């Protein structure tokens, strides 16, 4: 998906901070659309850990920001030369 320059900067920072989704590798505001089914431990020493996960073969990627989007060098809304020349 096409991002504005500011969105790219925000996304780059999020990726740099390791905030990308562990399941699909992208950034998205809601629950991961790739996850079909997951089971969390509700009690015991592993409380809060996920014990099972199942993925959809294909899924709706609308709204997901991928690293290639965040680091896309082309700027639609900025005509300034990125090299500073």
Closest distance to Zn ion from the beta carbon of 45 (Å):
27
Is the CB of residue 66 less than 8 Å from the CB of residue 24?
Answer: no
By CB under 5 A, how many residues form the interface with Zn ion? 4
Please state, in angstroms and rounded to a whole number, the distance separating the CA atoms of residues 24 and 42. Answer: 24
- Site residues for Zn ion, window 28-47 (CB under 5 A)? 32
User: Binder to Zn ion among 24, 27, 65, 70 (CB under 5 A)?
Assistant: 24
User: Binder to Zn ion among 7, 10, 23, 53 (CB under 5 A)?
Assistant: 23
Q: What is the DSSP letter of 65?
A: B
Closest distance to Zn ion from the beta carbon of 81 (Å):
35
Residues in Cβ contact with 61 at an 8 Å cutoff, skipping those fewer than 6 apart: 26, 33
User: Which residues contact Zn ion (rule: CB under 5 A)?
Assistant: 21, 23-24, 32
């Amino acid at each position: 998906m096409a991002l504005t320059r500011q969105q790219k900067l925000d996304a780059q920072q999020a990726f740099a901070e390791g905030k990308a989704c562990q399941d699909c590798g992208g950034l998205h505001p809601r629950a991961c659309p790739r996850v079909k089914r997951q089971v969390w431990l509700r009690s015991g020493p592993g409380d809060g850990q996920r014990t099972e996960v199942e993925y959809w073969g294909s899924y709706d990627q609308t709204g997901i920001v991928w690293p290639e989007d965040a680091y896309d060098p082309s700027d639609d809304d900025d005509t300034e030369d990125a090299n500073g020349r």
